[in-house]
């Protein structure tokens, strides 16, 4: 059988096909040079990307830390209509001394309930301010036995939520009966936010994430675009000043590193989805938050979620490709935190003293109201849903390839272009027990991160692959506002199953 | 003048010197090796050429690999032409696999009326270019099996392993390739007769 062709085999083996040697050699040399210089170019481009990304992030964060994003400051001032402020202040000491007063027929009423109903939404913030949280409201945990907490009016730190003397009419002395008509009013000044320094939206750049093929005449190997991401409405934070997150996107002209071959560059589109595990690594910036941050980091080591990837790979050589993808992750957490909260109680109808009228020889017992500070254990449960979209630029290489299977590895950078945190806190310390997290000004950051994954492909058809993909994203920048009491870095690992199509 | 003299001195040198120069990544030595082996290697590449895969691309990749791995060449095991030829075959297979693995669907190729052991006559009368053309006209799957089995000395077991098909499929594809080859030869003979008339 085989021997029938021996003669042809010999003839073809010795046959020299006509070829323009000079031309072929030049093409070969050109290709060889490109291959040699390719790694240098790749490293340079990566460094440039990293540099530009870092500069962009620094610029953004710098602007954010300046006057651009003033933190909300709320002052809740309780005033008694009938008593001057000085008198109220002086009465506080009296009130605190009165803790030791004889308690006769004392009834406890929670002043917080009054204030909650009086000031509405703002009082929710004031209640919430007593416990640590992720928000940029700086919530300081009040010490358990601080009876003098009511005197604290810390106005030096604008981040602190200050409560001044929430003591309704302690100094009023009445005979035989509780105070009536003691009204509290809340004065909540406007936040000193200004929109004047908010950066205007760059509509020209728009939200166009399309990778446009570079014009062939352009000599530069890369160009830069800035892309607006509008956090304001998207993130459901209408109260915040308008701001623009600028995404530095480097467009790389691949033509210089493309092999000079006649065959077209192969493009591979893939879509994959799968399970996600997220680890949140919290870091505390204040001592008050240290315990909380440590506990939360320990607890939230594996938050479940879902991950979706849509990307395109452009082959730059036989085994190497550039990978551009959009990744959307969503994950959930439920975190329980217990803490001690100071609580103010009004004791009504308390015997404050006995007045002795010497000439007559009669005694008059003086009764009145007083406020004492106690503590209570509050259990707060956080229910959060996070969503993040990342734009990923990575370089990939086919490590191994067989008839049906192939194994690829990609590594590169990931830029977070969108983040949303939704949820609520079930808090026994709150009046209505639930707080919507929409009031929490989480930072919608443009976080940079490193990205790596492995892709095991199984060919179902000539144009379709089944893809199994373990991947990891390590957030390099803070997920929360830089001047918040605590910050978080996210580490996301996922295992995805998807489809890959070639064209 | 100095360059010309060096170049001419290389030309006169034997293959050992050329290979030693290639190991040192000497461009002139590489050029000499290329000039010496490229035409024959191109013939091999042309056998595996498809619509989307140019023979010159295979040749280019082959010589890039050759220059990259020249240290691994052992003159005691095989001649340099044989070594380069094997690299060319492997490169072509790899590129074919990346492009469109046509041999996956070998069994879906049109059936050819099977006859008992068809004999091929008349191939000797054709020129090498004509033979190459006829081979190139075969479907990719048939051609790959035919090339590997007949021209590149692969066994059916090797082909099965390389292409991820069964040994039986490889055998049947070779049989079908032969049948198609014979059919094409007959067609060509008929055409030649018509032309003579």
Which residues of B fall within a CB distance of 8 Å from A1? Answer: 117, 174, 178
How far from A148 is each of A14, A96, A109, CA to CA, in Å?
Answer: 102, 7, 19
Tell me which residue has tokens 């081979």.
Answer: B135
Q: What is the pLDDT at residue A301?
A: 78
Contact A2 B56 (CB under 8 A): no
Q: Is the pLDDT of residue A84 over 60?
A: no
DSSP 8-state secondary structure symbol assigned to residue A258: S
CB count within 10 Å of CB A215 equals 8
Q: Which of A14, A18, A28 sits opposite B34 (nearest CB)?
A: A28
Question: Residue A499 burial by CB count (10 A; 0-12/13-18/19+): exposed, middle or buried?
Answer: middle
Q: Is residue A169 very low, low, confident or very high in pLDDT (cuts 50, 70, 90)? A: very low
Helix ranges (DSSP H) in chain B = 2-12, 15-23, 27-47, 55-68, 80-99, 128-137, 140-146, 156-163, 167-196
Residue of A nearest to B162 (CA): A403
| Band of pLDDT at residue A106, cut at 50, 70 and 90 | very low
CA-CA distance, A429 to A457, in Å (whole number)? Answer: 52
- Are A204 and A131 in contact by the 8 Å Cβ rule? The answer is no
Asked if B106 contacts B169 with a C-beta cutoff of 8 angstroms, the reply is yes
- Does residue A81 carry a pLDDT above 70? no
Q: How far is CA A255 from the centre of its chain?
A: 37
Q: Are strands A184-186 and A245-252 parallel, antiparallel or unpaired?
A: unpaired
Identify all chain B residues contacting A403, using CB atoms and an 8 Å cutoff.
Answer: 97, 101, 104, 163-164
Residue A342, pLDDT above cutoff 70 = yes
Higher pLDDT, A272 or B191: A272
Whether pLDDT at B98 is above 50:
yes
Contact yes or no for B27 and A29 at CB 8 A: yes
Question: How many residue pairs from chains A and B have C-beta atoms closer than 8 A?
Answer: 106
Domain boundaries, chain B: 2-99, 114-196
Q: Between A162 and B93, where is the model more confident?
A: B93
Q: What CATH number is given for B2-99 in this structure? A: 1.10.1740.10
> What is the percentage of chain B residues whose pLDDT exceeds 70?
76
Of B27, B43, B67, the CB nearest to A17: B43
**Yes or no, beta carbons of A28 and B46 under 8 Å apart:** no
CB pair distance less than 8 Å for B56 and A24: yes
Q: How far apart are CA B66 and CA A303, in angstroms?
A: 51
The secondary structure of residue A149, as a DSSP letter, is: G
**How sure is the predictor about A258, in pLDDT bands with cuts at 50, 70 and 90?**
very low
Q: Is B53 on the interface with A (CB under 8 A)?
A: yes
pLDDT tens string A396-429: 998 988 878 889 999 999 888 877 777 777 777 6
Residue appearing with tokens 């619509």: B51
Report pLDDT for B54: 84
Question: Is residue B163 over pLDDT 50?
Answer: yes
For residue A483, what pLDDT is reported? 58
CA distance A88 to B196: 124
What pLDDT score does A299 carry?
80
Outline where A73-119 has alpha helix (H).
85-97, 111-119
Whether the Cβ atoms of residue A300 and residue A365 lie closer than 8 Å to each other: no
Residues on chain B touching A405 (C-beta within 8 angstroms): none
Mean pLDDT of A175-203: 38
Query: What ipTM did this prediction achieve?
Result: 0.74
User: Average pLDDT, whole number, for chain A?
Assistant: 63
Sign of CA dihedral A491, A495, A496, A500: positive
Judge whether A403 is closer than 8 Å to chain B, CB to CB.
yes
The model's pLDDT over A294-313, given as tens digits with 9 standing for 90+, comes to: 887 788 778 888 988 899 99
- How confident is the model over A465-492, as pLDDT tens digits? 888 889 888 877 665 555 566 666 778 8
- Comparing A447 with A186, the larger pLDDT belongs to A447
CA distances from A55 to A50, A59, A60, A61 (A): 8, 6, 8, 10
Residue contact B54–A459, C-beta within 8 A: no
In chain A, the largest separation of any two C-alpha atoms, in whole Å, equals: 145
Q: Which residues numbered 25-84 in A keep a CB inside 8 Å of some CB on B?
A: 25, 27-29, 31-32, 35
Query: Scanning every residue of chain A, which has its alpha carbon at the shortest distance from the alpha carbon of B117?
Result: A1
The answer to whether A403 contacts B64, with C-beta atoms less than 8 Å apart, is no
Give the percent of chain A with pLDDT over 70.
49
Dihedral Cα A153, A158, A159, A162, nearest 10 deg: 20
Indicate if the pLDDT at residue A197 is higher than 80: no
Considering chain A, what percentage of its residues have pLDDT values greater than 90? 6
Q: Reply yes or no on whether the pLDDT at A254 is more than 80.
A: no
Q: B40 vs chain A: nearest CA distance in angstroms?
A: 5
The pLDDT, as a whole number, for residue A394 is 94
A265-295 pLDDT, tens digit each: 678 888 888 888 888 777 776 666 677 778 8
Q: Tokens at residue A502, please?
A: 């070639």
Q: How far A138 CA lies from chain B's nearest CA (Å)?
A: 58
Task: Tell whether B104 is within 8 A of chain A (Cβ).
Answer: yes
CA distance A67 to A85: 33
CATH number of the domain at B114-196, please? 1.10.10.10
- In sequence order, the β-bridge partners of residue A469 are A496
Preferred mutation among A3, A5, A6, A462 to probe B, highest tally of B CBs within 10 A: A5
- Average pLDDT of the residues in A172-184: 36
Strands (E), A6-128: 75-80, 107-110
CA distance B52 to chain A (A): 7
Cβ of B47 within 8 Å of Cβ of A19? The answer is no
Cβ neighbors of A343 (< 8 A, separation 6 or more) are A110, A112, A373, A374, A375, A376
Question: Is the model more confident about B71 or about A228?
Answer: B71
The pTM for the full model equals 0.36
Please state, in angstroms and rounded to a whole number, the distance separating the CA atoms of residues A300 and A282.
Answer: 9
Give tens-digit pLDDT for B106-143.
555 555 555 555 566 666 677 888 888 888 888 888 88
* Contact by Cβ (8 Å): B138, B148: no
Whether A261 sits inside 8 A of B60 (CB atoms) is: yes
**Average pLDDT over all residues of chain B:** 77
Residues in B closer than 8 angstroms to A32, CB to CB, are 64, 67
Choose the most confident range, by mean pLDDT, from A150-154, A206-210, A285-289, A416-420: A416-420
């Amino acid at each position: 059988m085989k021997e029938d062709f021996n003669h042809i085999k010999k003839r073809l083996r010795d046959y020299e096909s006509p070829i323009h040697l000079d031309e072929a050699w030049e093409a070969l040399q050109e290709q060889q040079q490109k291959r040699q210089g390719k790694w240098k170019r790749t490293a340079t481009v990566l460094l440039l990307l990293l540099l530009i990304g870092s500069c962009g992030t620094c610029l953004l964060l710098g602007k954010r830390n300046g006057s651009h994003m003033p933190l909300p400051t709320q002052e809740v001032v309780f005033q008694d209509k009938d008593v001057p402020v000085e008198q109220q202040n002086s009465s506080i000491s009296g009130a605190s001394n009165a803790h030791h007063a004889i308690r006769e027929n004392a009834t406890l009423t929670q002043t917080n309930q009054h204030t909650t109903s009086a000031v509405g939404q703002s009082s929710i913030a004031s209640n919430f301010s007593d416990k640590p949280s992720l928000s940029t409201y700086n919530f300081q945990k009040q010490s358990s036995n601080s009876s003098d907490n009511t005197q604290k009016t810390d106005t030096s730190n604008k981040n602190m939520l200050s409560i001044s003397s929430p003591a309704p009419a302690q100094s009023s002395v009445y005979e035989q009966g509780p105070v009536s008509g003691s009204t509290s009013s809340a004065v909540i000044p406007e936040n000193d936010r200004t929109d004047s320094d908010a950066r205007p939206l760059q509509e020209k750049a728009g939200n166009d994430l399309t990778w446009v093929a570079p014009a062939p005449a352009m000599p530069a190997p890369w160009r830069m675009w800035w892309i607006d991401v509008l956090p304001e409405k998207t993130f459901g934070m209408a109260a915040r000043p308008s701001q623009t997150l600028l995404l530095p996107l480097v467009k790389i002209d691949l033509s210089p590193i493309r092999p000079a071959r006649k065959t077209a560059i192969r493009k591979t589109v893939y879509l994959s989805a799968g399970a996600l595990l997220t680890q949140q690594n919290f870091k505390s910036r204040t001592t008050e938050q240290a315990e909380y941050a440590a506990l939360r980091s320990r607890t939230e080591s594996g938050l479940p979620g879902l991950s979706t990837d849509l990307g395109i790979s452009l082959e730059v050589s036989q085994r190497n490709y550039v990978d551009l993808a959009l990744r959307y992750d969503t994950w959930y957490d439920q975190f329980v935190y217990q803490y001690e909260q100071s609580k103010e109680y009004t004791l009504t109808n308390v015997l404050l003293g006995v007045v002795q009228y010497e000439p007559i020889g009669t005694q008059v017992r003086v009764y009145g109201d007083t406020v004492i500070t106690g503590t209570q254990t509050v259990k707060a449960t956080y229910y959060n849903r996070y969503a993040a979209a990342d734009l990923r630029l990575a370089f990939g290489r086919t490590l191994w390839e067989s008839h049906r299977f192939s194994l690829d590895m990609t590594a590169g950078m990931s830029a977070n272009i969108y983040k949303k945190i939704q949820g609520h806190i079930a808090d026994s310390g709150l009046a209505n027990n639930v707080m919507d997290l929409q009031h929490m000004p989480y930072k919608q950051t443009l976080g940079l991160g490193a990205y790596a994954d492995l892709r095991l492909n199984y060919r179902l058809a000539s144009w379709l692959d089944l893809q199994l993909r373990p991947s990891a994203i390590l957030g390099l920048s803070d997920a929360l506002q830089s001047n918040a009491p605590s910050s978080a870095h996210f580490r996301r690992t996922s295992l995805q199953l998807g489809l890959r199509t070639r064209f | 003048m100095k360059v010309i003299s060096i170049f001419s001195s290389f030309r006169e040198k034997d293959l050992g010197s050329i290979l030693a120069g290639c190991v040192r990544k000497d461009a002139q030595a590489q050029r000499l090796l290329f000039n010496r082996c490229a035409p024959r290697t191109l013939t091999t590449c042309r056998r595996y050429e498809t619509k989307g895969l140019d023979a010159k691309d295979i040749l280019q990749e082959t010589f890039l690999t050759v220059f990259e791995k020249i240290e691994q060449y052992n003159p005691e095991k095989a001649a340099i032409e044989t070594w380069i030829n094997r690299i060319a075959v492997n490169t072509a297979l790899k590129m074919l696999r990346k492009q469109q693995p046509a041999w996956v669907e070998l069994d879906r190729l049109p059936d050819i009326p099977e006859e008992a052991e068809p004999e091929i006559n008349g191939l000797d009368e054709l020129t090498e270019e004509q033979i190459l053309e006829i081979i190139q006209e075969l479907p990719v799957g048939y051609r790959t099996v035919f090339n590997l089995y007949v021209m590149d000395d692969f066994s059916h077991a090797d082909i099965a392993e390389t292409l991820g098909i069964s040994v039986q499929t490889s055998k049947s594809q070779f049989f079908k390739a032969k049948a198609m080859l014979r059919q094409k030869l007959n067609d060509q003979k008929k055409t030649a007769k018509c032309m003579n008339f």
